[in-house]
Structures are given as structure tokens and as C-alpha cells.
Amino acid sequence: MTERKSVAEKIDILRKEKNAVILAHNYQLPEVQDIADFTGDSLALSQMAATTDADIIVFCGVHFMAETASIISPQKKVLIPDLKAGCTLADAITADQLRAWKKEHPGAVVVSYINTTAEVKAESDYCCTSSNAVKVVKSIPEDKEILFLPDMFLGAYAAKVTGRKLHIWPGECHIHAGIMTRDLEEMESEHPGAEMIVHPECGCTTSLLYQNANVSAIGNGNGGSNGNGNGHVKFLSTGGMIKHVSASNAREFVIATETGMLHPLRKANPDKTFYPAREDAVCRFMKMITLEKILKSLEEEVYEVKVPDATARLAKKSIDRMLEITA
């Protein structure tokens, strides 16, 4: 009688046979995170794509993330298990819109969040992620005008922390934008001792920042505390959340981001308690990747994400500048 293998076991056999690496974002389904070779935030996943010696990268995330991996490692085959896994924030600005915006501000430096298409990155001077937006903006000479896109809450955060005047594109991630100040206030009254951990794409970011008098203390490239009067609100990337929570003496945390984040936090900190700021902060695109689709992806080597050479070369410059600043 032949032994029946589980989907996870089949994935394991194939990834070894094909010298493939499975990268998963922190918002992926728990079972996807659990079988991945590496999980992380956008920056860590880009760094991993740049250094892996695998021949195939199976990217469990949304399309711009797989595109970024392909731009960084054009010699590798980059696969996304479901081509429909898109990002509404990345769709908030097109390359044509950016070209028109640049014309209105000749000589301005363009800083694009990693949640953008390859074409938009190709029109940009710098790429950034939530973990290094502040560092990237700080690295630009004071006399330069800056166009920051496409997330208005992250832009407001970077402007406040750096004290720089940024032109900010009015885009948003609908999941993060839906996490409002009143959600955090409600959670705070239910869990008065909990630390509030906030992704800077959240709709509450701006008001939390402006409630706080001591904003100059905020942020150091990895996020930071805004204190909101008592020092228990932190703005962090998803990777920054994992680092911060492990080091914190607090026992309870309210997590203001996509709820997939609860899984790696709980896994790494079984003795701490986590509450999502909103139970319904679920990105349906992030949840499109399943174990069955990963297996199909490895078996059939689908769906390849490849950026045309000319676009990839230009886009890579903006990513390389970011990676140099962050290294």
C-alpha cells in the first residue's frame, strides 16, 4: 500500500527537488506561514529575495511583492500561486499619473512605497517600506522637494517624524484606512494595560500623531513611540512589531493592522495576549494563497511574474537605493 502524503509533505519534497524557496508575508494564512522557509515584512522579504541562492522563489504575498522579487533577482524564476492576489494600494497610482505629477514638480525627488507597480517604481528615485520610510526621507537633502506616494497615512507619518514638508499622494490601503481612532479608543478602554501597536498605514495614524505633543521623539526608521500622553502607542512595520513585542515587558497588546499578523505574534510569544484592533481587518487578497495553490505552483511552475527588462532595470535602481540606506 502506498503511503498518502499531505499537501505540506508534497510541497516539502518538491521545494527540495527544485531548489525552491517559499517566502511568505506576515499577513498570509497561518498554514502558509507555517510551511514557508521565511516569513517577514516587505523589507525583509526583499532582502531575502536579493540574497537567496534558490532557483525558484514561490512568493506568498500580493503581486507587487512578487514583482519586487523578480526585479531584484531577474535570473530567478519568481512564482505567485494566485495571479489574482493584487493590492488596492498599489493600484492607487499609475505610471501615467506619476509622470503627470512629476511634471507639476520639476526636480522633485520621488519616494515610492514598495506597494506600487514595477512601472511606478521605474519612475521613482527611491523605494521605501513602512520600516524605512523615515530613514529614506531623512537621507534626501533638505532643499529637495519630495513627492511621496501612494499611501497618505504613511506619508503623513514620515512627514511628522522627519519634520519635512512632503507632497503626498492621496492613496490608502482600504483595510488599514478602516482602522480608526475610535477603534483604538474602544480597545484601550477594554484593555487599559495593553500596548497599542499601530501600522503607519492605519487611518488612525494621523490623529494619534497629532494628539501627541512630543512628536519629535517618534520614530527611528523602525517606527517608534508616539506616547499619546503615556507612551504606549508604537508605530511599527509588521517585522518591527515582532521585534518590539518580543522585547517588551507588556503582557497585552492591541494590534492595529491586518489580522494575519496575529499568527506570527502569538507563535513567537505564547505567554503574551494579543487583540486585533478590528476583527474585520482582513485583506482578502492576502488570503488567496492556499497550500493547494502553492503545491500547484511548484508542480507546474505557475504563475511566473516577470518584469520587462527595461522597466526592471529602472525600478531596481529605486529599490537598490533603499536597500543601501537600510543595510
Q: Which residues bind ligand 13P (CB under 6 A)?
A: 26, 41-42, 115, 129-130, 173, 201, 237-238
Closest approach of ligand 13P to the CB of residue 281, in Å: 11
> Which of 212, 189, 167 lies closest to 275, judged by CA?
189
Closest approach of ligand 13P to the CB of residue 1, in Å: 45
Closest approach of ligand 13P to the CB of residue 177, in Å: 10
Q: Which is nearer to ligand 13P, 24 or 184 (CB)?
A: 24
User: Residue 238: in which H helix or E strand, if any?
Assistant: helix 238-247
Residues 136 and 138: their CA atoms lie apart, in Å, by: 5
Residue 248, helix vs strand vs coil? coil
Q: Which is nearer to ligand 13P, 140 or 286 (CB)?
A: 286
Q: Determine contact, residues 28/257, Cβ cutoff 8 Å.
A: no
Closest approach of ligand 13P to the CB of residue 14, in Å: 27
Residues 241 and 95: their CA atoms lie apart, in Å, by: 32
Closest approach of ligand 13P to the CB of residue 326, in Å: 12
Cβ contacts of residue 117 below 8 Å, gap of 6+? Answer: 64, 67, 90, 91, 94, 95
DSSP state of 58: E
> Which of 300, 9, 242 lies closest to 253, judged by CA?
242
Closest approach of ligand 13P to the CB of residue 132, in Å: 9
Q: Which is nearer to ligand 13P, 41 or 123 (CB)?
A: 41
> Which of 254, 264, 245, 256 lies closest to 281, judged by CA?
256
Residue type (1 letter), 18: K
Residue type (1 letter), 141: P
Backbone angles phi, psi at 113, to 5 degrees: -60, 150
Residue type (1 letter), 224: G
Q: Which is nearer to ligand 13P, 227 or 264 (CB)?
A: 264
Closest approach of ligand 13P to the CB of residue 187, in Å: 20
